[in-house]
Amino acid sequence: MTEATGDPEPRPDVDQDESLPKLSCPHCGAKYRPKRPTRGRRVRCRHCDHVWRHEPDTANAVAGALDGAAANWMRLGSTLLSRTDHASTLGHAVQQVSKEHVPLASEWIDKSLGRYDIRSVLGEGAMGYVLEAQDRDLKRTVALKILPARISPDREPIGLKMFLQEARVAAKLQHPNAVTIYEIGNEDGTYYFAMDRVQGVTLAALVDQHGPLPANQACYLVAAAARALAAGHRLAIVHRDVKPSNIMIDISGLVKVTDFGLAHVAGIEGINELAARAVGTPGWMSPEAARCEEITPASDIYSLGLVLYAALTGKRLVSADTRSGLVREHCRSVSVRREDLPPGWPPRLRDVVVQCLQADPQDRYQSADSLAADLLRALAPSEDDKTLLLAHNHEKKPAGYVSSTLSRIALAVLILVAGVFGIWWWLYRAS
C-alpha cells in the first residue's frame, strides 16, 4: 500500500514532487502533496485512517463513455421507442383482467468476511459501509456492504430489516439497470451482502466534476433509471430514495440504480414501521413523502424529475439551509410550470420535467416506462413522433366540412347585407 503523506496545509518539503497533483481525503478533507505517483494505487489518510483508491481518470472515462452511449441511444431511438410504447400498452391491458463504538471503515482493510478478502473502502452510507473485496473462490472483485455495529439487531431490529431488505429487493429485481446481488451472509454477528462492483462514479460525482450534462446524456441516464424503477414498480417496489448519489454510471456508459434500503415493498414485514416518518433524502423527496402521506410509484417519478433537473442544470430545484428546512420546502412544493424552466430547453423536454414535478401525484406520469419513452421523444426530431392532444368526444370531420354554426352566421350576414341594400335602394327611388 502507498501511504500519502502530508498535512491539511502542506508545508514545504524537499521530498515533495510539485509536478504531482494534490490529493484530498474524501472522508475528512485533508489535503496532501504526495511524494510519489499515486494514480491507481490505494492510499491511506494519516489523519482519519480512511483508505481509498486514487483513480482521477475515472470521471473522465465515464464522461467519454456516457457520450458514446447516449449517441447510440439516440440513433436507436425510433426502434426503442416503438418497443417501449407497445410494452407499455400491453402492460396496461394485462393490468386491467445505541450507541456503541463504531469502528473506522479502515479497520476492515485486510480482513475477511466469509470468502471475501477486503481491500479498500468505496463509501459509507446510513445503512452501512461499502467495501471493495476479492472473492477467493470465483476470483472476482465485488462490492461488499456491511451492516455497521451501531445498528444492533437486538436494539434496532428495524435497521437490520432494512439492511436485509435492500439485498432481497435488489436480488428480486433482476434488471440490467439495477445493481446485482450475489450473496447475503452473517459471520460472527456481522451481516453483509456482496454485489457487483460498478467501475464508475455516481451521477452526483459526475455532475460535480464536469458540470451540467448535455440534454441527450441527461435523458439517457434518467430513462435508464426509469426503466429499472418501472421493473420494481411492477413488483410493488417503490424505491423512495431516488437521488443522484444512488445512480451510478460505469465506464461503458451502463446506468445502475443502487441502494434499496428505504424501499417500500408491499407485504414486507417491518416497512410499516417507517410509515410515520418522512422517508427519503431531503432535497430529493416528493411532497407526499415529506408529509408522510401514502407513497406510490409517482413518488419515485417526482424524484426522477428532480434528478433530471439537477443533471441538466447542475443544481437542486429545492434548496434550504437545513435538513428540516428542506423537508418544509418539499411539504409546500407547488407544481412546476413551463415558464419556471430555462427557455433554451427543447419544448418537449420541458413538458417531461413539468409532468414529473406536479404537486398532485395524479397529475404526474403514472408509469415510469411512459416517462422513459417520453424522454426519448423529447429529443427526437421526427414529425411522425409528435404527441397529439385528443379532445373529449371529438370526431374528425371530413375534408371540406363546414360546421352548421358557421353556415348560419354566413347566411345571417348575407340577409343583413341584402336588407341594408334594399332600404338604400328604396330611399334612392323615393328621392
List strands edge to edge, sheet with 116-125: 112-113, 116-125, 128-135, 140-146, 190-196, 181-187
CA distance 281 to 327: 9
Number of independent structural domains in the chain: 3
Which of 196, 213, 128 has its CA nearest to residue 163?
128
Residues 302-319 have pLDDT tens digits of 999 999 999 999 999 988
Longest dimension (CA), the chain: 120
Alpha carbon distance 9, 29 (integer Å): 11
Please indicate, yes or no, whether residues 12 and 89 belong to a single structural domain of this protein.
no
What pLDDT sits at residue 126?
Answer: 58
Q: What is the pLDDT of residues 158-176, one digit of tens each?
A: 777 778 888 888 888 889 9
Report whether pLDDT(240) > 50.
yes
Asked whether residue 91 falls in the same domain as residue 236, the answer is yes
Does 408 map to a domain? no
Query: In this structure, is residue 426 part of a structural domain?
Result: no
Domain enclosing residue 128, as ranges? 105-196
- pLDDT beyond 80 at 337: yes
List Cα–Cα distances, 217 to 96, 247, 270, 326, in angstroms. 35, 14, 38, 28
Domain holding 149: CATH number? 3.30.200.20
Confidence category of residue 123, pLDDT binned at 50, 70, 90: confident
* C-alpha dist (Å) from residue 119 to 1, 44, 109: 10, 12, 6
Point out the residues that are catalytic.
241
DSSP one-letter code for 398: P
Q: Which amino acid is at 418?
A: A
User: Which residues face 186 on adjacent strands?
Assistant: 191
Say yes or no: 167 and 241 in one domain.
no
The domain boundary, picked from 159, 177, 196, lies at: 196
Of 161, 196, 231, the residue at which a domain comes to its end is 196
Residue 160 forms part of a structural domain: yes
Domain boundary among 196, 216, 244: 196
pLDDT tens profile 28-76:
778 888 877 877 777 778 887 777 777 777 777 777 778 777 777 666 6
201-220 pLDDT, tens digit per residue, is: 889 988 988 889 989 889 99
138 exposure class (CB count in 10 Å sphere: 0-12, 13-18, 19+): exposed
C-alpha closest to that of 292 among 308, 307, 280, 304: 280
Q: How far apart are CA 431 and CA 425, in angstroms?
A: 10
Global confidence as pTM: 0.71
15 pLDDT more than 50: no
- The answer on 211 and 68 residing in a single domain is yes
| Residue 404 resides in a domain | no
In a domain, 263, yes or no: yes
